[in-house]
Amino acid sequence: MVCAQVETSPRRCWQKVLYERQPFPDNYVDQRFLEELRKNIHARQYQYWNVVFESGAVVQQLCSVCVFVVTWWYMDAGVLSPQGLFGAALLTSLLGYVLFDAIDAGVGRRESGRTRWADLKSMLVFTAFTYGFSPVLKTLTESISTDTIYAMSAFMLLGHLIFFDYGANAAIVSSTLSLNMAIFASVCLASRLPRSLHAFAMVTFAMQIFALWPMLQKKLKARTPCCYVGVTVLFALVALMGLASVSSVGAVLFASLLLSISCLCPYCLIRLQQLKDNIHGPWDEAEIKEDLSRFLM
């Protein structure tokens, strides 16, 4: 809109109405037009340490992928036995379940509504099912070249990181798709291990780190933030130590990535937030806010 000079009677003032004919052009506005200008009325003000805390979800998921790949490398190199991996996964799953149940006991109820017996049956069914089909998983991709398997696995793990639910309300978020891509990558990599027992231990470990571990993370983040920060730091150190045993250069690059995500990116966000310049005024489209639920009965 532009301001226009119109010679009118001094007794006639312009009004912002549509139901009355006025001796003004359609694009006429008076000097009060810019008085309603508002800037950044819906802009969120972020605090640096709050953003660092929220970035812990990204750091933990990157570390989960790192730990999974390093564990697969240990299995493929013969450094880690399938019995040792399964025993460690079983012990850590038990400890995590006790911690998860203790947090629920602290609030006086179990949010999932499931009983411990139901959880035990689900675990036994999954373990038996995976063990029974481990020979099939081992020979599932024999006709596919190893290079293709590695490329597909890398692509699937990247997709897992992209579609993972980090707490943002966005259309790209899909927990189901993220988990399926991670399990698909684990099946592909497990098929390149020496025996079917290796494949069984690897897929079981993948379910633990990609399905059960994020559930415990969210519970700790919601109920005990201090414990969540400690677990995040400890898990990052474990991932870095495991990666350093495979490649020192990779460990340095991965540490730089984690520091950039947890420290540098929040700082850039806070700095760029000061440059926001969203304007709002009478030119905005009208929003009809009416409860239409009575028509949906």
d(CA 102, CA 175): 25
Mean pLDDT value of segment 277-283? 72
79 token code pair: 């450094």
The answer to whether residues 196 and 137 touch, using CB atoms and an 8 Å cutoff, is yes
125 token code pair: 């069914």
Residue 70 reports pLDDT greater than 50: yes
128 token code pair: 């038996």
CA-CA-CA-CA dihedral for 236, 239, 240, 243, to nearest 10: -160
Output the pTM of the full model: 0.79
Residue spans of the domains in the chain: they are 55-273
- The label of the residue with tokens 């099939």 reads 136
CA–chain centroid gap for 70, Å, is 21
pLDDT band at 16 (very low <50, low <70, confident <90, very high): confident
Mean pLDDT value of segment 109-136? 80
Residue 221 reports pLDDT greater than 80: yes
pLDDT band at 146 (very low <50, low <70, confident <90, very high): confident
Contacts of 258 (CB under 8 A, 6+ apart): 59, 62, 63, 236, 240
Query: What are the distances in angstroms from CA 121 to CA 85, 116, 249?
Result: 22, 9, 44
d(CA 210, CA 215): 9
The answer to whether residues 196 and 136 touch, using CB atoms and an 8 Å cutoff, is no
Residue 279 has what DSSP assignment? E
pLDDT band at 207 (very low <50, low <70, confident <90, very high): very high
Residue 296 reports pLDDT greater than 70: no
The answer to whether residues 89 and 204 touch, using CB atoms and an 8 Å cutoff, is yes
Instruction: Output the pLDDT for position 129.
Output: 87
Q: What is the pLDDT of residues 247-268, one digit of tens each?
A: 999 999 999 999 999 999 999 9
CA-CA-CA-CA dihedral for 171, 173, 176, 178, to nearest 10: 140
Task: Return the minimum-mean-pLDDT range out of 71-75, 130-134, 235-239, 248-252.
Answer: 130-134
Q: What angle do CA 160, 135, 155 make, to 5 degrees?
A: 20
The answer to whether residues 273 and 46 touch, using CB atoms and an 8 Å cutoff, is yes
